[in-house]
Amino acid sequence: MTRILITSAIPYINGIKHLGNLVGSQLPADLYARYQRARGAEVLFLCATDEHGTPAELAAAKAGKPVAEYCAEMWQVQKDLSDGFRLSFDRFGRSSSPQNHALTQHFAGRLDAAGLIEEREETQIYSHADHRFLPDRYIEGTCPNCGYDRARGDQCENCTKQLDPTDLIDPRSAISGSTDLEERRTKHLYLRQSAMRDRLRDWIDSKTDWPVLTTSIARKWLDDGAGLQDRGITRDLDWGVPVRKGTEPWPGMEGKVFYVWFDAPIEYIACAAEWADANGLPDAEWERWWRTDKGAQDVRYVQFMGKDNVPFHTLSFPVTIMGANFDGAEPWKLVDYIKAFNYLTYDGGQFSTSQGRGVFMDQALSILPADYWRWWLLSHSPESSDTEFTWDNFQSSVNKDLADVLGNFVSRVTKFCRSKFGEAVPDGGPFGPAEAALIADLQTRLAAYQRAMDAIEIRKAAAELRAIWVAGNEYLQAAAPWTAIKTDPDRAAAIVRMALNLIRLYAVLSAPFIPDAADRLTAALRTDRDWPDDLHAALARLEPGHSFDVPENLFDKITDDQAAEWAERFAGNRG
């Protein structure tokens, strides 16, 4: 059996995420997980909340709560929203878990033994107004590379160039806006990424099947300026994983924690340990996914993320994984494929959590069920370029694709059958040339759909799925059972029998995209949902006499008034 490990970039704990975050990692990962499970693969799909660092501390302070309490509450909020969007994680974990603390400290000890960690005295920015050292992300200024005036101290969001806070022009505190900043000396641990540059380059060059977006960003970080830089992996903060070498103290690092970008990717592994513990499984069960000496050599590991996360997953995290195996004793699983996404923009601007611009996950579910959003976001996935969300486009896509093409087909077929033959599959005569032509067309389209899904070409897969829906509508319109019933009831019955089996096929193929609708169709048809490896057999699965229920309207159309109201309500302010 094929075994596939899937991780999506873990979201920060502070605040509810917007649709751009959703489509940039978690939603396409869920699509792929659902598809692979449907094809019979053994899948482990992991995600978690990223709970450490200054963002969590500041958000907790703003909420007037201890940071641990705040993180626990926000984990539940994010878990409930992921459930609302039907994200089928096998485990939605927490980077603050004991498992992640232990593994992060373990990896640090291994990397130190490998000679890949170095203690350095450095200059960091201290804010007098905030009475604290400012982590890189909480220093803003103008990027010296592209001139973007809201660049962060670790990376420019606009051009993706890696930065140090001291590189910024006119730096200011992102917390208070204060420019009363001072450079102070402090000691920190650095991950010697530069020592792994050649090995990383060879590894990335070997990934000839990766998306250009992924490899181009990785190579840019390898080659820009002086090339890949060493990275600080500790911070002067209270909330995080305490700096230790495994279970031993780290002299000189008392009171410090590991940098969130060091411990967060390790949570992918820790999340598997959390999954095993939660299900009463031995360590061997999660290790068979992550250790190539314990079974993971047969695993295909696929990561999903927005393009801003690519450098850390193609460079920093692989350094951790490779470096920990310096003596061959710990062969951890490296990623096999990284699916990176461009940005989803919102009606002429950018989605932004910090600026409160765009539709957020809780708001989306408050006005429409998850399938409406899943279909639009996936069928407009920002793969080759940025994609813009507009209410006109959303309305048009939902109404034409979901209501008119899929929903109308289901309604016409089931209601016609009930009125003419009752709520059971009719027998009628044998299938003829029209059905043979339909099946031949569907064979071609199904193969194209599967190729696109296997290649994680999401927009192409959505287009193929829609074409499969359209093929059924065209068949029904041409076969016209409402006309045939007048002169040849057996022929009309055969057409309806084929159409009902098409609905079952649609439920199977559509489930990765629109799982709730697929569940409703499966329940209404009183059937199962196995993958159509034999299309002829699949289109004869509902035999004559098989009873069914006529489902309620599958999708409601979005009215002009609704679209106008929502456009006004969500015009870039969270409120």
Binding site as annotated, residues: 143, 146, 156, 159, 353
Q: Are 330 and 110 in contact (CB under 8 A)?
A: yes
Element (H, E) at 124: strand 117-127
Residue keyed to tokens 């969500």: 570
Element (H, E) at 19: helix 19-21
Residue keyed to tokens 């920190």: 188
Pairing of strands 169-173, 139-142: antiparallel
Give the SS3 label for residue 81: helix
Residue numbers in the known binding site for Zn(2+) are 143, 146, 156, 159
Residue numbers in the known binding site for ATP are 353
| CA geometry: angle 38, 42, 48, nearest 5 deg | 100
Give the per-residue SS3 of 400-413.
HHHHHHHHHHHHHH
Distance separating alpha carbons of residues 500 and 511, to the nearest angstrom: 17
Q: Are 8 and 29 in contact (CB under 8 A)?
A: yes
| Residue 26 DSSP symbol | I
Pairing of strands 42-49, 91-94: parallel
Q: Are 211 and 382 in contact (CB under 8 A)?
A: no
From the centroid of its chain, how far is CA 430? Answer: 45
Distance separating alpha carbons of residues 392 and 388, to the nearest angstrom: 11
